[in-house]
Amino acid sequence: MEVPTALEELFKYIDKNTSRYIETLREAVAIRSVSSLEECREETCKMVNWTAGHLRKLGVEVCLKEIGTQVFPSGNEVKFPPVLLGTLGNDPKKKTICIYGHLDVQPALKDDGWNTEPFEMAECDGRLYGRGAADDKGPVLACIQAIEAFQAVHVELPVNIKILFEAMEECGSLGLEGLVTSEKDSFFKDVDYICICDGSWLGKDTPCIVYGLRGCCFFRLTVECASQDLHSGVHGGMVHEAMADLTYLLSSLTDKDGRLLITDIYNSVPPLHAGEQDIYTNIDFDTSVYGNDIGAVKLLRQDKADLLLNGWRYPSLSIHGIEGAHGEFGLKCVIPGKVTGKFSIRIVENQSPEEVKKLVTDYLTKKWQERGSATRIMVTMTASALPWHEDPHHPHYLATQKATKYIYKKDGDLIRAGGTMPIITTLKKITGKNIINVALSAGDDNIHAQNEKIDKNNYISGTKFMAAYLYEVSRIEK
Amino acid sequence: MEVPTALEELFKYIDKNTSRYIETLREAVAIRSVSSLEECREETCKMVNWTAGHLRKLGVEVCLKEIGTQVFPSGNEVKFPPVLLGTLGNDPKKKTICIYGHLDVQPALKDDGWNTEPFEMAECDGRLYGRGAADDKGPVLACIQAIEAFQAVHVELPVNIKILFEAMEECGSLGLEGLVTSEKDSFFKDVDYICICDGSWLGKDTPCIVYGLRGCCFFRLTVECASQDLHSGVHGGMVHEAMADLTYLLSSLTDKDGRLLITDIYNSVPPLHAGEQDIYTNIDFDTSVYGNDIGAVKLLRQDKADLLLNGWRYPSLSIHGIEGAHGEFGLKCVIPGKVTGKFSIRIVENQSPEEVKKLVTDYLTKKWQERGSATRIMVTMTASALPWHEDPHHPHYLATQKATKYIYKKDGDLIRAGGTMPIITTLKKITGKNIINVALSAGDDNIHAQNEKIDKNNYISGTKFMAAYLYEVSRIEK
């Protein structure tokens, strides 16, 4: 497929500016925008302001929207980082594209097992290591750099742009739904299509275009045996212990093969439609490469389609950790007084968080009654997000495929994904527009894990892709 | 019982110096001698040197013994803090008393739920709050101040003193056994009795003299599902999860009433001898006061003797926490790749760590085979200590009771305790001498927990008690 001349020129400019783009990413990674930590809130806000500065240089009209406050465990009430709304162009003859990305990152400590300092970008063999390099600072910068490239080579931007960058995504996009709702008839009024620029490919070679995501329900299960931590020598054998009861309850959630033991959750999963299994069979995905990349001891399913279905099309439950117990290295002879198990359940189309909350609460309450222990328990669903899916034959998807071919010389795989983006559900519900989720980072980029990275190639191709995407969506016939 | 004149004078001096003693304790608390943390190793060594300075002022000949190195998880090999050996007096006509205490403390963070900064001593209503105030910096200072009081009022110290202060007690007295062994025929040569000054009373009114302790075996149970942490949205449903298997195994260790499900461990517990239950019935201990003090939701046994027997005379198992999972506050959509459950089993007389290690390893291996999961597991016993007990009718114990009566106007309760002091076993094994464990802090002092404190009264009475103890043991007829 021949690349249009206008894009050729843009691509050359992008190639020439590679070093500068890398330095910009280095600056972004150095800003510790961990949205879940109170001590990083200032840095998270700084990341929003830093990004606003870059956009203003391109003539984007930026508005930083306050979205309220949250109370941290310290008892401090702290403002959420503002949401960045940006507007560039309002030509009624052009289509209006809303681009979404996020500026916050997951926690990361060198001691978690990073080879380098997570907030100091390290370049090695064409890979750019650092927390947020792939999720989602690199992709966000690719969008900004694509816009800048149009301006630099004096090619008129063929679309109006609406930018929606938030910094609470890693905490479930807290506070964002209200803003989107209130901006429905103003900021979002003329939007034609929405592009979510986040996530990663399945593998390392074929780009992925996502048309469906699972939803998620986050739970906290608290067990209390005493109002304080106790010395396990002095008090062991004298009190009921919260950790014994918590591990009992957590272990009752799934079986050894990852199947939820709250079996009623499977009742609302839609059955596979005719031929659906084949779609999964044709996706460019190698189970053994995947297993090796993540260093899995063993995958839950050995067949490719079975494995992908299990990860995308069925619910799953993961236990993330326990608050209030001794999680650091070393010995501590403690009976933790109050411990909270944190787990989440990914849900699929047709399933609602309310239904899952009830099933989980009822199940744990029943298990608890069966055990008959004397400790106190509390189950809460602290956050949730609906699943999402689109028709992958929509013109917006076809235009995106064209852009994909220019850059990657092949069709992207149209896939579902196992993850969740609450913002997609919200945007869909409120704007009703067609949404696409494009991923720019590779499948081995370790997002949310140790040694997160983005390949230099993917970062630069992603910048070109975003330019090509804007070009192609401008040409969709209404 | 009339207090001897020499002691009367000492007691007056001690009362007059209360404010100074409190300031000294404040200085000690401010030194973050957390032995389990690499970043506190310098402060831990500083605590040893600070104490050495105080002892040298009293004419104690101090020797700081290096005991080797340890490798922290960072990979750094770091020296243990030195052991402080002190000698004061070598009159062959006097008895020689070895006093043991420890200078290191448990970890503590304000965020754990402390009302004040744990390393800044806070005085409130006659209570001195701070990490180490009761365990064991207050008691250690009581010993030093007792010696100083003899000198200040010009009463000849009636015994030779050998001081053994270590700073790795909270990590299982790592490195100490080798030193004690090598000093058997030198430092410990002329020791008649050993006094372990550590631990706390059962309640708030009656002092306790401990003649028996449980031993302890520390275990690490590691489960690995992947070589790295994984995003639970992207990978949930695709891999076996380590946390599911770890909680399953941890929950298989005890039942809801704290009974070990590794039932063979009970086979080697000695049966109660005739009348043994009565001893426990007569101890000054109120189960409901105890339950309230620790804020227990419910105690494991409602009868006093049953409860004390369960905590002192039978094994117990506590799960301390999980390394490698998300233990901090907040959401993290993670499938931890490798997690380690930390638990310990308190063992009683007749039981050996080797026997317990084999039973635990065999049990977990069997449970693991039954489950048939695909993750990898590893069980290790990382530290252990033998149980200890003495005959509470020994003259050393009778002399100590006399000192108790001078200060507290009543007999101390002769008790066992649920905790463990590896150093006692080591000292017993190597020196063969009679050992007593005197506690100076009250039962509500929260040792190892949030808001640790020592009551000003107990701190000062403890100083007097140590003076009276030295006086009375000097009078034991050989």
B206 three-class SS? coil
Can you tell me which residue has the tokens 């999860």? B241
- Please give the positions of B annotated as active site: 104, 169
Q: Inform me whether the C-beta atom of residue A217 falls under 8 Å from chain B C-beta atoms.
A: no
* Confidence check: pLDDT of A454 > 80: yes
Q: What is the pLDDT of residue A478?
A: 67
- Tokens representing B295 are 């804020």
Decide if A248 and B253 are in contact by the 8 Å CB cutoff.
no
Residue B369, number of CB atoms within 10 A of its CB:
9
Decide if B240 and A298 are in contact by the 8 Å CB cutoff.
yes
Give the phi and the psi of residue B98 in degrees, each rounded to 5. Answer: -100, 125
* Confidence check: pLDDT of A1 > 80: no
Q: Inform me whether the C-beta atom of residue A275 falls under 8 Å from chain B C-beta atoms.
A: no
How far does A185 lie from chain B, in Å, by closest CA?
32
For chains A and B, CB pairs below 8 A equal: 375
Q: Which residues contact A14 (CB under 8 A, 6 or more apart)?
A: A21, A145, A146, A149, A460, A463, A464, A467
Contact of A387 with A351, CB cutoff 8 Å: yes
Q: Inform me whether the C-beta atom of residue A271 falls under 8 Å from chain B C-beta atoms.
A: no
pLDDT band at A329 (very low <50, low <70, confident <90, very high): confident
Q: What is the pLDDT of residue B168?
A: 96
DSSP strand pairing (B159-166 vs B95-102)? parallel
Give the phi and the psi of residue B255 in degrees, each rounded to 5. Answer: -95, -175
The minimal CB distance from B449 to the residues A229, A253, A448 is found for: A229
Contact of B72 with B175, CB cutoff 8 Å: no
Helices (H), A112-270: 138-152, 176-182, 232-235, 242-251
Contact of B190 with B207, CB cutoff 8 Å: no
Decide if A346 and B236 are in contact by the 8 Å CB cutoff.
yes
Decide if B243 and A170 are in contact by the 8 Å CB cutoff.
no
The helix (run of H) or strand (run of E) holding residue B376 is strand B376-385
Q: What is the pLDDT of residue B308?
A: 96
How far does A234 lie from chain B, in Å, by closest CA?
5
- Residue (of B206, B204, B207) closest to B289 by Cα position: B204
Catalytic residue status for A104: yes
The minimal CB distance from A325 to the residues B218, B297, B322 is found for: B322
The minimal CB distance from A297 to the residues B171, B233, B374 is found for: B374
How far does A103 lie from chain B, in Å, by closest CA?
16
Give the phi and the psi of residue A237 in degrees, each rounded to 5. Answer: 100, -5
Q: Which residues of B touch A307 (CB under 8 A)?
A: 238
- Tokens representing A181 are 């709702």
Give the phi and the psi of residue A152 in degrees, each rounded to 5. Answer: -65, -35
Whole-number average pLDDT of chain A? 95
Q: Kindly provide the ipTM of the predicted complex, given to two decimals.
A: 0.80
Q: Return the residue of A nearest to B259 by Cα.
A: A237
Q: What is the mean pLDDT of residues A127-143?
A: 98
3-state SS of B349-364 is CCCCHHHHHHHHHHHH
Task: Give the best residue of A40, A169, A220, A322 to mutate against chain B (max B CB count within 10 A).
Answer: A322
Decide if A318 and B300 are in contact by the 8 Å CB cutoff.
no
Q: What is the mean pLDDT of residues A53-74?
A: 95
DSSP secondary structure code for residue A251 in this structure? H
* Confidence check: pLDDT of A156 > 70: yes
Q: What is the CA radius of gyration of chain B?
A: 23
CA A57 vs CA A33, A144, A157, A329: distances in Å: 22, 10, 16, 47
Spacing of C-alpha A290 from chain mean position: 19
What sign results for the dihedral spanned by CA atoms A204, A210, A214, A220? positive
Contact of B433 with B194, CB cutoff 8 Å: yes
Rounded Cα distance, B190 and B95, in Å: 8
Q: What is the pLDDT of residue B330?
A: 84
Strand partners, A195: A99, A436
- Residue (of A166, A184, A144, A143) closest to A85 by Cα position: A166
Decide if B250 and A237 are in contact by the 8 Å CB cutoff.
no
Decide if A236 and B295 are in contact by the 8 Å CB cutoff.
no
The minimal CB distance from B320 to the residues A171, A325, A341 is found for: A325
SS3 content of chain A, % helix, strand, coil (to 5): 40, 25, 35
Rounded Cα distance, B434 and B95, in Å: 13
The minimal CB distance from B321 to the residues A172, A257, A326 is found for: A326
CA dihedral B95, B136, A328, B418 (to 10 degrees): 70
Strand partners, A100: A164, A196
Domains, chain B, ordered by start: 5-213+387-475 (3.40.630.10), 215-269+314-383 (3.30.70.360)
3-state SS of A333-396 is CEECCEEEEEEEEEECCCCCHHHHHHHHHHHHHHHHHHHCCCCEEEEEEEEEECCEECCCCCHH
A142 three-class SS? helix
CA A181 vs CA A104, A185, A186, A430: distances in Å: 22, 9, 10, 6
Q: Return the residue of B nearest to A227 by Cα.
A: B295
Q: Inform me whether the C-beta atom of residue A330 falls under 8 Å from chain B C-beta atoms.
A: yes
DSSP string, B166-203: ES-GGGT-TTHHHHHHHTTTTTTTT--EEEEE--B-SS
Q: What is the pLDDT of residues B428-473, one digit of tens each?
A: 999 999 999 999 999 889 888 899 999 999 999 999 999 999 999 9
Q: What is the CA radius of gyration of chain A?
A: 23
Q: What is the pLDDT of residue A291?
A: 94
Q: Inform me whether the C-beta atom of residue B70 falls under 8 Å from chain A C-beta atoms.
A: no
How far does A450 lie from chain B, in Å, by closest CA?
7
Q: What is the pLDDT of residue B421?
A: 85
Contact of A469 with A153, CB cutoff 8 Å: no
Residues of chain B with pLDDT under 50: none
Q: Inform me whether the C-beta atom of residue B71 falls under 8 Å from chain A C-beta atoms.
A: no
Decide if A256 and B244 are in contact by the 8 Å CB cutoff.
yes
Rounded Cα distance, A31 and B336, in Å: 25
Decide if A234 and B447 are in contact by the 8 Å CB cutoff.
yes
DSSP secondary structure code for residue B38 in this structure? G
Helices A138-152 and A5-16, packing angle to 10 deg? 120
Strand partners, A415: A210
- Tokens representing A424 are 């997609």
Q: Inform me whether the C-beta atom of residue A408 falls under 8 Å from chain B C-beta atoms.
A: no
Can you tell me which residue has the tokens 């750019």? A128
Q: Inform me whether the C-beta atom of residue A457 falls under 8 Å from chain B C-beta atoms.
A: no
Task: Give the best residue of B71, B329, B437, B450 to mutate against chain A (max A CB count within 10 A).
Answer: B329
Q: Inform me whether the C-beta atom of residue A72 falls under 8 Å from chain B C-beta atoms.
A: yes
Can you tell me which residue has the tokens 């004096």? A154
How far does B65 lie from chain A, in Å, by closest CA?
24
B115 three-class SS? coil
- Residue (of A223, A206, A168) closest to A368 by Cα position: A223
Rounded Cα distance, A33 and B432, in Å: 60
Q: Which residues of A touch B226 (CB under 8 A)?
A: 294-297
B76 three-class SS? coil
What amino acid is encoded at B266 in this protein? Y
Contact of A194 with A180, CB cutoff 8 Å: no
Contact of A433 with A194, CB cutoff 8 Å: yes
- Residue (of A45, A52, A86) closest to A66 by Cα position: A45
What amino acid is encoded at A376 in this protein? R
Q: Inform me whether the C-beta atom of residue B302 falls under 8 Å from chain A C-beta atoms.
A: no
The minimal CB distance from A321 to the residues B74, B254, B327 is found for: B327
- Tokens representing B271 are 């049966």
CB environment B292-328: b (16+ within 10 A), e (fewer)? ebbebbebbbeebbbbbbbbbbbbbbbbbbbbbbbbe
Task: Give the best residue of B448, B450, B452, B453 to mutate against chain A (max A CB count within 10 A).
Answer: B448
The minimal CB distance from B297 to the residues A237, A240, A450 is found for: A240
Strand partners, B222: B340, B378
CB environment A342-352: b (16+ within 10 A), e (fewer)? bbbbbbbbebe
**Global pTM value:** 0.79
DSSP secondary structure code for residue B336 in this structure? -
Contact of B412 with B400, CB cutoff 8 Å: yes
How far does A10 lie from chain B, in Å, by closest CA?
33
Rounded Cα distance, B136 and B117, in Å: 18
Q: What is the pLDDT of residues B224-257, one digit of tens each?
A: 999 999 999 989 999 999 999 999 999 999 999 9
Q: Which residues contact B144 (CB under 8 A, 6 or more apart)?
A: B51, B54, B55, B58
Q: What is the pLDDT of residue B478?
A: 67
Q: Inform me whether the C-beta atom of residue B452 falls under 8 Å from chain A C-beta atoms.
A: no
Task: Give the best residue of B44, B198, B238, B252 to mutate against chain A (max A CB count within 10 A).
Answer: B238
Decide if A237 and B327 are in contact by the 8 Å CB cutoff.
no
Q: Inform me whether the C-beta atom of residue A382 falls under 8 Å from chain B C-beta atoms.
A: yes
